[in-house]
Amino acid sequence: MAKAKSYAAESKDAPLKYYEFERREPTENDVEIKILYSGICHSDIHNVRGDWDDVEYPCIPGHEIIGKVTRIGKSVKSFKPGDTVGVGVMVNSCGTCNACKTNYEQYCEEGMTLTYSSEDPIDGTDTKGGYSDLIVVTEKFVFAMPEKLDITKAAPLLCAGITMYSPLVHWQTGPGKKVAILGLGGLGHMGVKLAKAMGAEVWVFTSSPEKSEDAKSYGADGVIVSSNEEEMESAYRKFDLIVDTIPVKHELEDYLKTLKINGTICIVGQINPMPGFHGGDLIGGRKSIAGSGIGGLKETRDMLEFCAEHNVLPDVEEITMEEVNDAWDNMLNKSMSHRYVISVKDSF
């Protein structure tokens, strides 16, 4: 066992604070990783604050992890101590169901093992995430980081990056396509950068007019302020695809109007119930409402290669663990248009 330092929440209302615990000894297939950087995803907030299912406390979130391998189990072939690696949203899956056998581990029929707040099939403990300085993960769920990617910035690729890449690829984003990203936060700003690198025309729907300049600096061709009726109407039948990152319940009606015939709005944000929709808004233009969850292991490796090749990296604001609670507040009040990354190496 090795001691890990972390920031944890003791209850759904408690601020995150310093907490120590033990990580297991690496089993034969495990990789032990000293965490250097950990991105802050809005899912961390939902999970800890009880927006989803009940979770165990203390809860240590964090699923955008970059670190260096410190030890490996005796059967590990792909990594050696000193390698720079990444860990994302999942750390295991059954490996045998149809989803797992077709590179959709995130849609495992048994349910994937999440990086935090899941029962670990290896030792039965509650998984603990990247707001900590050490993690032990089975080899298959560890990613080699392409050398070209700046590791001080790359952590958010492991969740925000893959969550946007997967639907953009699925709905064939590329030259000639018009894509809109709904909500300019961590996921949204990655969506803009990725869709642009894929060659599409990219727009942003935002509820925060002051984010327009940021959107353009990430590569957006245009910005629509969702409260501005004229701007919304001018986008009638404009988009092939909208990727919707809004983390709370919201109406889709006005956005459906901005889809072209055969267009799709793909929800990646809100996981809980959404308001209903009018059948006519879908029938009038053969439109689809869809959803998408992170990406599989192979797709995540493809995404990392794509980002290395096209020099796509998040804009990050580096903070230390002590600043995490303030960062969460800023995300909840929508003031952040990109990603916070905790410099774990400078935090303890």
CA distance 138 to 72: 10
Q: Which of 2, 94, 122, 169 binds Zn ion (CB under 5 A)?
A: 94
Q: In the complex, which residue's CB is closest to ligand NAP?
A: 185
**Cis status of the peptide bond prior to 58, with omega within 30 of 0:** yes
Nearer to Zn ion, 64 or 240 (CB): 64
**CA 119 to chain CA mean position, Å:** 20
Total of chain residues touching Zn ion, rule CB under 5 A: 8
Q: What does DSSP assign to residue 314?
A: -
Query: Shortest approach of ligand NAP to residue 153 CB, angstroms?
Result: 16
**Residue numbers 104-133 binding Zn ion by CB under 5 A:** 108
Q: Which is nearer to ligand NAP, 2 or 169 (CB)?
A: 169
Residues near ligand NAP, by CB under 6 A: 41-43, 46, 159, 163, 183-188, 206-208, 211, 245-248, 268-269, 292-294, 331-332, 334, 336
Q: How far is the CB of 180 from ligand NAP (least distance, A)?
A: 12
Q: Where are the beta strands (DSSP E) in 192-331?
A: 201-206, 222-225, 239-244, 259-267, 288-291, 316-319
Q: Which does 108 bind (CB under 5 to 8 A by kind): Zn ion, ligand NAP, none?
A: Zn ion
**Least separation in angstroms between CB 295 and ligand NAP:** 8
CB-count burial class (<10 Å; 0-12, 13-18, 19+) for 293: middle
Query: What is the footprint of Zn ion within residues 18-47 (CB under 5 A)?
Result: 41, 43
C-beta of 76: minimal distance to ligand NAP in Å? 27
Residue 164 near residue 186, CB atoms below 8 Å? no
- Shortest distance (Å) from residue 73 CB to ligand NAP: 29
Binding at 268: pick from Zn ion, ligand NAP, none (beta carbon under 5-8 Å per type)? ligand NAP
Among 90, 159, 321, 324, binds Zn ion (CB under 5 A): 159
Residue 227 CB neighbours (<10 A): 10
Surface-to-core class of residue 273, CB atoms within 10 Å of its CB (0-12 exposed, 13-18 middle, 19+ buried)? exposed
| CB-based contact 27:336 (threshold 8 Å) | no
Q: List residues binding Zn ion (CB under 5 A).
A: 41, 43, 93-94, 97, 100, 108, 159
